């Protein structure tokens, strides 16, 4: 026989602090690696597995709980109630209107029940099953709110009794901003479970998940150095004499068989063609060593890389400054040929200094770890050689990801180091954010535009002053620093298509339109064409351009807003940051140089 327990509400409120429960307010978006929203992902916290949510059709989720529950001295309220099994029965005259909120002992909201015009003589309220141990009930009756502790022992419910004479109806929910150490877990069948270390329960995140389904067409965007390799192998590359001059920028959506892509998923095939073309005609080959050939050490102060394959070997190291970041940290690798990093890398993002080795002159032996490994006369230009080193660093970080997150890497540098940062990003799809600054010829400049727009440095400069590009690949297309020696309009590919290889990852081109030697008109046209590709692929926010005049490689406040937003979004994971603006460029009629329109592509990447 069940006991009937009745007690006046005048003794319900407690004088003690009940609980310093955890406040959670985590929201975000889950996507496939290509950027397509992912529905049906279960998201939860390792330490609070009952705090869970499932993503909607837009990939959105929100984890939320209450925080500190503070209950003060008793309130005297002229109502009585009783528990009968799991029913709440009132003893009063007149009808009652209000709500009942039920919390767990640690302050998590379990259930809310609203009622109106309840007749206590004939009606009761059925409660959900309370958890064993301490529960908390907040009652609002005819506009008066109070709270009590309810203890469940077996099938019995007991009210925590207390006495006192001061009236109070104080019930406070206070957010806690303490630093925490927890793991957010996202799981869905046919996808790799994602575990993300977090240090705050009040944050916004972007999560990318890789499919494990046996889909031969699945592309590991952002997780492989060259995720589209081998999809469209080119058996024969037309030589200089078999190519026709074209002053317009080549259509990046046109396949080599003459058909134009109509679906986002077809971009992978076109991307593979462009990747092969730019290495054959512009940068030179960037080999990928065999799996297992990269070893080394990663610490919070230094990364040492060793590469060994078929009797060949080389080693190099980079310095690390954690810069207030928590491991595994996002990081920006800055190319430093003696100039340092003009970009002020924000706190919370590790700084990795990369010594970019190169030598002047258009002939002779080339130096650096890449050429130690493959030979000093390898035809790859210095930009491809430095990009190879960046890729080997990321190889090692994938093996040892506890200090630096291998998939939250940014690259930056200014002038010649900006060229390097650009090529490092477009030749390795694992780079999350590419930030080339004032890169000029050999950087984010379409080569064929110089003769037409009058930039201060010719393409030949990029294989004669320093062999940033491949002197072997470009030798027939760039023979002198003048119009008669420049035939880059015969190239079947140009830098706007090379930049498009970064998609669906992110790039922000930082420019200086006041220095003509940097080819600012050419830079704007190139960026416009690149942006068109990102827009067609559905990732327009992942491409930005910001220009501001001043001294070469001097950081300017006009850069701050867009660059910081890009870092915040693509390295720190704040999906709410607004990115993708195109500002500060030189006014140019881009339609004179771009005679194609971006197609409307269906589906996802």
Which amino acids are annotated catalytic? 415, 552
Angstrom distance (rounded) from CA 525 to CA 248: 11
Angstrom distance (rounded) from CA 132 to CA 315: 61
**458 SS3 class:** coil
Q: Which two tokens stand for residue 506?
A: 């992110």
Question: DSSP letter string over 133-153?
Answer: EEEEEEEEETTEEEEEEEEEE
Strands 543-547, 52-54: pairing is unpaired
Cis, bond preceding 285 (omega within 30 deg of 0): no
Residue position matching structure tokens 């609002």: 140
Question: DSSP letter string over 370-407?
Answer: HHHHH-TT-S--HHHHHHHHHHHHHHHHHHSTTSEEEE
Question: DSSP letter string over 314-360?
Answer: EEEEEEEE-TTPPSSEEEEEEEESSS--SS-PPTTSEEEEEE----B
**384 SS3 class:** helix
Task: Please choose, from the candidates 507, 504, 499, 508, the residue with its C-alpha nearest in 3D space to the C-alpha of residue 561.
Answer: 508
Angle subtended by helix axes 382-399 and 416-426, to nearest 10: 50
Cβ–Cβ under 8 Å, residues 314 and 303? no
Q: What are phi and psi of 309, to 5 degrees?
A: -160, 125
Q: Which string of b and e fits 30-42 if b means at least 16 CB within 10 Å? A: bbbbbbebbeebb
Residues forming beta bridges with residue 308, ordered by sequence position: 313
Cβ–Cβ under 8 Å, residues 366 and 437? no
């Amino acid at each position: 026989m069940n006991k009937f327990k009745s007690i006046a509400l005048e003794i319900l409120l407690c004088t003690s602090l009940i609980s310093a429960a955890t406040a959670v307010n985590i929201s975000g978006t889950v996507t496939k690696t290509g950027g397509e929203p992912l529905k049906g992902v279960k998201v939860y916290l390792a330490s609070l597995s009952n705090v869970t949510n499932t993503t909607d059709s837009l990939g959105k989720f929100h984890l939320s709980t209450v925080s500190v529950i503070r209950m003060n001295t008793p309130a005297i309220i002229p109502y009585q109630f009783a528990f009968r099994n799991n029913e709440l029965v009132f003893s009063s005259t007149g009808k009652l209107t209000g709500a009942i909120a039920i919390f767990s002992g640690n302050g998590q909201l379990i259930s809310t029940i609203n009622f109106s015009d309840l007749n206590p003589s004939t009606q009761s309220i059925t409660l959900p099953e309370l958890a064993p141990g301490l529960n908390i009930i907040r009652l609002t009756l005819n506009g008066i709110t109070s709270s009590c502790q309810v203890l469940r022992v077996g099938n019995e419910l007991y009210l925590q009794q207390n006495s006192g004479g001061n009236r109070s109806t104080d019930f406070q929910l206070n957010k806690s901003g303490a630093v925490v150490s927890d793991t957010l877990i996202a799981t869905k069948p046919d996808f790799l479970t994602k575990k993300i270390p977090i240090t705050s329960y009040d944050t916004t995140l972007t999560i990318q998940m890789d499919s494990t389904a046996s889909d031969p067409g699945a592309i590991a965007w952002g997780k492989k150095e060259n995720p589209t390799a081998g999809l469209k192998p080119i058996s024969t590359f037309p030589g200089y004499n078999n190519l026709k001059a074209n002053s317009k920028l080549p259509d990046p959506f046109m396949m080599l068989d003459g058909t134009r892509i109509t679906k986002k998923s077809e971009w992978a095939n076109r991307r593979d063609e462009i990747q092969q073309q730019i290495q054959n005609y512009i940068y030179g080959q960037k080999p990928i060593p065999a799996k297992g050939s990269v070893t080394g050490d990663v610490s919070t102060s230094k990364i040492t890389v060793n590469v060994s394959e078929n009797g060949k070997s080389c080693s190099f190291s980079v310095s690390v400054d954690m810069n207030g970041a928590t491991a595994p940290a996002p990081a920006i690798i800055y190319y430093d040929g003696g100039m340092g990093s003009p970009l002020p890398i924000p706190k919370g993002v590790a700084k990795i200094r990369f010594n970019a080795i190169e030598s002047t002159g258009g002939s002779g032996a080339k130096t650096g770890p890449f050429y130690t490994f493959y030979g000093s006369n390898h035809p790859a230009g210095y930009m491809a050689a430095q990009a190879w080193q960046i890729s080997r660093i990321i190889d090692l970080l994938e093996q040892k990801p506890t200090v630096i997150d291998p998939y939250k890497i940014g690259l930056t540098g200014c002038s010649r180091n900006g060229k390097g940062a650009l090529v490092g990003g477009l030749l390795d799809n694992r780079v999350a954010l590419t930030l080339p600054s004032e890169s000029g010829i050999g950087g984010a400049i379409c080569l064929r535009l110089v003769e037409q727009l009058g930039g201060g440095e010719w393409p030949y400069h990029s294989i004669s002053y320093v062999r940033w590009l491949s002197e072997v690949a470009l030798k027939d297309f760039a023979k002198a620093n003048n119009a008669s020696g420049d035939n880059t309009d015969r190239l079947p590919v140009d830098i706007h298509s090379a930049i498009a290889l970064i998609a669906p990852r992110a790039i922000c081109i930082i420019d200086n339109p006041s220095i003509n030697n940097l080819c600012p008109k050419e830079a704007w046209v190139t960026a416009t064409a690149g942006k068109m590709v990102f827009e067609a692929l559905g990732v327009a926010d992942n491409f930005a351009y910001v220009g501001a005049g001043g001294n070469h490689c001097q950081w300017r406040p006009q850069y701050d807003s867009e660059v910081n937003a890009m870092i915040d979004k693509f390295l720190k994971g704040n999906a709410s940051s607004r990115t993708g603006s195109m500002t500060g460029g030189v006014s140019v009629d881009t339609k004179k140089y771009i005679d194609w329109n971006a197609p409307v592509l269906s589906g996802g990447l």
